Amino acid sequence: MSDAAVPAAPRRIRMTVIGPILALVLLVVAGALMNPNFLGWDNVTNVLARSAFIGIIAVGMTFVITAGGLDLSVGSMAAFIAGLMILVMNSLVPSMGVGVPVILVGMAVALLAGLAAGLLNGILITRLGIEAFIVTLGSMGIYRSLVTWLADGGTLSLDFNLRSLYQPVYYGGIFGITWPIIVFALVVLVGEVVMRSTAFGRYCAAIGSNEQVAKYSSVRVDRVRLMTYAALGLLVGIATIMYVPRLGSASSATGMLWELEAIAAVIIGGTVLKGGFGRVWGTVIGVLILTLIGNLLNLTDFVSPYLNGAIQGAIIVLAVVLQREGKAR
């Protein structure tokens, strides 16, 4: 093949760039046509706030998947952290009283626990060389069982007075924008910049597209991969901090299937499941698409909301088909 015949790279990606945006626009237009309240302030902030938990986690998942990894444990990790947080805060009430310091300690516990859980996954995967799927399948079971055990099969509830003090973290905000949305936006901004413009983001993509090449290029492969899992754990901690004040409780059902929603959002957003290419803004679109479908089904009586999962599933498969066609061109 002659050198001049080499096709330019950007052409190839175009369809996969437009795809998710187009889907989101279609959903918004359809929603606006079906229900006038759809684009109202209340509904928009509601959709964004609901997207925040999965969204914050999915941003971390984008890095893990881009670097060729996977983490199935995030949902049960969130449940475990929520349970741990509630237990710690409740136990501090007698000594420290009901006050902001207790909540700060709880937040610190959530961040540390998330970081530790992520590091543990990462160490098992990089140091012992066990498949990410296996390690996180195992830790998924372990955390889920631990939270069930902590709650003794029932529900862990936050001290009633603490709960009303903590609630503004979910329901409050500034300029009518609630904290989960603000935190989500910040995480996305930082994630996008890290993925696009830092050495770490570049290394993730390099490792995911060919680990051997990264290794031969003196990239510290294990450290970068470990960091993706640690960052994801930390983000799970942050998401849990935003989630606990919503219900003020944790049970064995908390965070159920979050891992699948997060992975689905990442894939719908155009990140390649086997790694090598990821984009954080795409993940945001993926999360919004998933949340909007549920929201639309609730607002209209067109299709039963019980079919939410079926429609989401169809969209995930469709997204991957579109990705592949974009590649084959």
Partner 1 sequence: MTVLALRNVSRSFGPIEVLHGVDIALRPGRVHALIGENGAGKSTTMKIMTGYQPPSSGQVLLDGRPVGFANMGAAEDQGISMIHQEFNLAEQLTVEQNIFLGRELKRGPFLDKPAMRARTRELLDRLECRVSPDRVVSTLSNSDKQMVEIAKALLRDTRVLVMDEPTAVLTRAETAILLRQVRALREAGTAVLFTSHKLDEVEEIADDLTIMRDGRVVWTGEAAAMDQHAMANAMVGREMSDLFPAKVSTPGEVALEVANLSVPGFSHDVGFTLRRGEVLGVAGLIGSGRTETFEGLCGLRPATGEVRVFGQPVRIDHPWQAQDLGLCYLTEDRKTRGLLLGKGLRENLTLQALSKFDRGLLDTGAEDRALTQAIADFDIRGHRDALVGNLSGGNQQKLLFAKTMLADPQIIVIDEPTRGIDIGTKQQMYVLIRRLAAQGRAIVVISSEMQEVIGLADRILVMRHGRVTGELGADATEDAIVRLAMGVAPTPSKEPA
**Chain contacts with partner 1 (rule: CB under 8 A):** 1-10, 12, 193, 197-199, 202-203, 205-206, 209-210, 212-220, 276-277
The values of phi and psi at residue 202, to 5°, are -65, -40
CB 202, min distance to partner 1, A: 6
Q: Which residue has the tokens 């998947």?
A: 65
Distance CA 167, CA 21 (A): 34
Pick from 169, 143, 151: nearest CA to 259: 143
Q: Which is nearer to partner 1, 35 or 200 (CB)?
A: 200
CB 119, min distance to partner 1, A: 20
CB 19, min distance to partner 1, A: 19
Helix segments in 167-257, DSSP class H: 168-171, 179-197, 199-209, 211-216, 221-247
Please tell me whether residue 88 adopts helix, strand or coil conformation: helix
Q: Which is nearer to partner 1, 96 or 199 (CB)?
A: 199
CB 305, min distance to partner 1, A: 41
Q: Which residue has the tokens 């009430």?
A: 93
Q: Which is nearer to partner 1, 118 or 208 (CB)?
A: 208
* Contact partners, residue 262, CB within 8 Å, separation at least 6: 54, 57, 58, 61, 74
Q: Which is nearer to partner 1, 201 or 282 (CB)?
A: 201
Distance CA 68, CA 302 (A): 39
Q: Which is nearer to partner 1, 38 or 277 (CB)?
A: 277
Q: Which residue has the tokens 């960091």?
A: 227
CB 212, min distance to partner 1, A: 5
CB 198, min distance to partner 1, A: 6
Pick from 165, 146, 168: nearest CA to 255: 146
Q: Which is nearer to partner 1, 161 or 197 (CB)?
A: 197
Distance CA 95, CA 86 (A): 15
